[in-house]
Chain A
């Protein structure tokens, strides 16, 4: 009976650990002097405690089953693509990076390679025009200048 509810128990455990970590961190906050009688410690300590209590309750009384994903690979591919995008954006410039990101996500959504390439080829320059040119929000340039 416990096995399907493992996810909630794990969530509870994570919350307890995170609460403990934050509470411990809060105790290390030292200031030369504070202008207010409360200081920077009290609030995070209290909230962390409350979160840990919620976590403990969940560990004892879990409620949700984790539904197994039908497909895992597309989600992982998209996540990896987004992380790599974050790293690569300042290096290779907005348009190439965004093109690659769009292609991966379009493929993950089941597009044919040709369609995925088309999606990226339209989206990347369009966004660049909108944000960088029209809205004057500077986007990274990269070696190609775009």
Chain B
């Protein structure tokens, strides 16, 4: 097989001492960046790029380093999500749902372990798929039309009820609120301002970092202050380590999450957050049939979104490398880096510059093994974070979070906004309003409106266009099933 031979050539590139060292450095930096709230791989890659030029690194080495930062960050976001209920990156918001309850039960180490393994499984299997199918997959992905995206997003939203148990009305209200927050700023269709209240600072919309840090990090700290840190103290109990039986139960979930994550990642118009949300809620629907502790600390509830997140990250590289189409902000920065090296990603990359394309793919196999090996011993170190006295830990967390907000836009306004969202997050927790639907509404709302309006512009207002393709019909059928399922069960009961 051609791909195998080419991959072997890639390993010859990736296994040179320099490139191994660069991959390791990238993995370390990536994990650290993933842990820091607000500071994403984009910043790190933009920073490392001039460093690559200064060291006169050849393009394949530079890409190996930068890509390692990118997929390494996918391992980091879960850590604060599980330990402190504060997601380090957008897609880790879902991980807090079951991750933090597990930590409170003293099972932080087990949750970190299973997510580390899940990340590895998701990423590695995705690299395998990428090895053999990159170019054909990317061609299928561009066939996904705005109408198909509408069907996909509606499907994801139809599972919203599953993501937030408890009071459904509050979950839906939270989802609507999240959608409205996403609409703040310049309308991407007509260029007019919406919901900005005349403020210049709001023109660019609300940044995800500002929202997530406010609702989660600041809101959590305010709640802890009120309850005399009883919650944090509970997490200190040393629970059982991850058992093999638990891991085995998670394996099917990881497989499904890899499939969902990779497929969504390959689509240029959807991201890792969508993948994490979709695979979590799918898993929950499946688990409803048997015994489960979803929402109260189920291992599958952390394994699934983290696996999907890493699979989607790798998937995102597929259209970038094989078509030159970035699917996310970070892949856009990676693309820019390649262009600076006078390398044009696209269908010709694999033929013309095999050392770059295959060197990168080979290095991703190696890098993910490194990340797994790094992450397992680090679990103990990370959980020790909970032993740090509150008066050291939480001032540091708040200062780091606010500095992260500052780094995004250098704006005092955004700092105030984050604190405002923090107070809101505190109040919503007290009122038992789930926060994750806000995040999902925020991520999905804009995608839904934009794609719906695109689809309508293309069909000149003909709604039938939404049901005109096979993928869209399949997705609508899934939506119908997801909505009908709980009713059917109630009928039977």
A-side interface residues toward B, CB under 8 Å? 7-8, 11, 15, 18-19, 22, 25-26, 29-31, 34-40, 43-44, 47-48, 50-51, 54-55, 57-58, 61, 63-64, 66-67, 69-72, 74-75, 78-79, 82-83, 85-87, 89-90, 94, 98, 101-103, 105-111, 115-116, 119-120, 123-124, 127, 131, 135-140
Q: Among the listed B176, B227, B452, which residue makes an inter-chain contact with A50, where contact means beta carbons less than 8 Å apart? A: B176
Neighbouring B residues of A7 by C-beta, 8 Å: 430-431
CA A54 to CA B434, docked complex, whole Å: 14
In contact, B192 and A29 (Cβ under 8 angstroms): yes
Q: Taking the nearest CB of chain B, how far is it from the CB of A51, in angstroms?
A: 4
In contact, B431 and A11 (Cβ under 8 angstroms): yes
Q: Taking the nearest CB of chain A, how far is it from the CB of B411, in angstroms?
A: 9
Known: A37-B460, A48-B180, A82-B422. A89 touches B406 (CB 8 A): yes
Q: Is B113 an interface residue (CB 8 A)?
A: no
Q: Taking the nearest CB of chain B, how far is it from the CB of A26, in angstroms?
A: 8
Neighbouring A residues of B461 by C-beta, 8 Å: 37-38
Chain B 433-453 interface residues, beta-carbon cutoff 8 Å to A: 433, 445, 449, 452-453
Q: Among the listed B169, B179, B389, B406, which residue makes an inter-chain contact with A54, where contact means beta carbons less than 8 Å apart? A: B169
Q: Taking the nearest CB of chain B, how far is it from the CB of A13, in angstroms?
A: 12
In contact, B416 and A58 (Cβ under 8 angstroms): no
In contact, B226 and A72 (Cβ under 8 angstroms): yes
Chain A at the B interface: mostly helix, strand, loop or mixed? helix
Stretch in contact with the other chain, from B18-26, B391-399, B483-491 = B391-399
Neighbouring A residues of B410 by C-beta, 8 Å: 138
Most buried by A among B179, B190, B461: B190
In contact, A47 and B176 (Cβ under 8 angstroms): yes
In contact, B169 and A44 (Cβ under 8 angstroms): no
CA A29 to CA B172, docked complex, whole Å: 25
Q: Is B379 an interface residue (CB 8 A)?
A: no
In contact, A86 and B432 (Cβ under 8 angstroms): no
Supplied contacts A37-B460, A40-B192, A82-B415, 6 more A-B pairs, CB within 8 Å: A34-B190, A38-B461, A47-B179, A64-B432, A72-B226, A119-B391
Q: Among the listed A19, A58, A70, A101, which residue makes an inter-chain contact with B227, where contact means beta carbons less than 8 Å apart? A: A70
Q: Is B403 an interface residue (CB 8 A)?
A: yes
Q: Taking the nearest CB of chain B, how far is it from the CB of A123, in angstroms?
A: 5
Chain B 224-238 interface residues, beta-carbon cutoff 8 Å to A: 224-229
Neighbouring A residues of B39 by C-beta, 8 Å: 131, 135, 137
In contact, B398 and A22 (Cβ under 8 angstroms): no
In contact, B396 and A102 (Cβ under 8 angstroms): yes
CA A55 to CA B453, docked complex, whole Å: 27
Q: Is B343 an interface residue (CB 8 A)?
A: no
Can you show 23 pairs from A to B with CB atoms below 8 A apart?
A: A11-B431, A37-B456, A39-B190, A40-B194, A43-B452, A43-B453, A44-B194, A51-B173, A54-B172, A75-B222, A75-B225, A75-B426, A78-B398, A86-B418, A86-B419, A101-B398, A102-B398, A103-B395, A106-B394, A123-B396, A131-B407, A135-B47, A137-B407
Neighbouring B residues of A47 by C-beta, 8 Å: 176, 179-180, 183, 445
Q: Taking the nearest CB of chain B, how far is it from the CB of A121, in angstroms?
A: 11
Neighbouring B residues of A66 by C-beta, 8 Å: 430-431
Most buried by B among A25, A94, A108: A108
Q: Taking the nearest CB of chain B, how far is it from the CB of A39, in angstroms?
A: 7
Q: Taking the nearest CB of chain B, how far is it from the CB of A61, in angstroms?
A: 8
In contact, A98 and B222 (Cβ under 8 angstroms): no
Neighbouring A residues of B190 by C-beta, 8 Å: 31, 34-35, 39-40
In contact, A70 and B431 (Cβ under 8 angstroms): no
Q: Taking the nearest CB of chain B, how far is it from the CB of A97, in angstroms?
A: 9
Q: Taking the nearest CB of chain A, how far is it from the CB of B440, in angstroms?
A: 13
Known: A31-B190, A38-B453, A51-B176. A106 touches B416 (CB 8 A): no
Neighbouring A residues of B226 by C-beta, 8 Å: 69-72, 74-75
Neighbouring B residues of A22 by C-beta, 8 Å: 180, 195
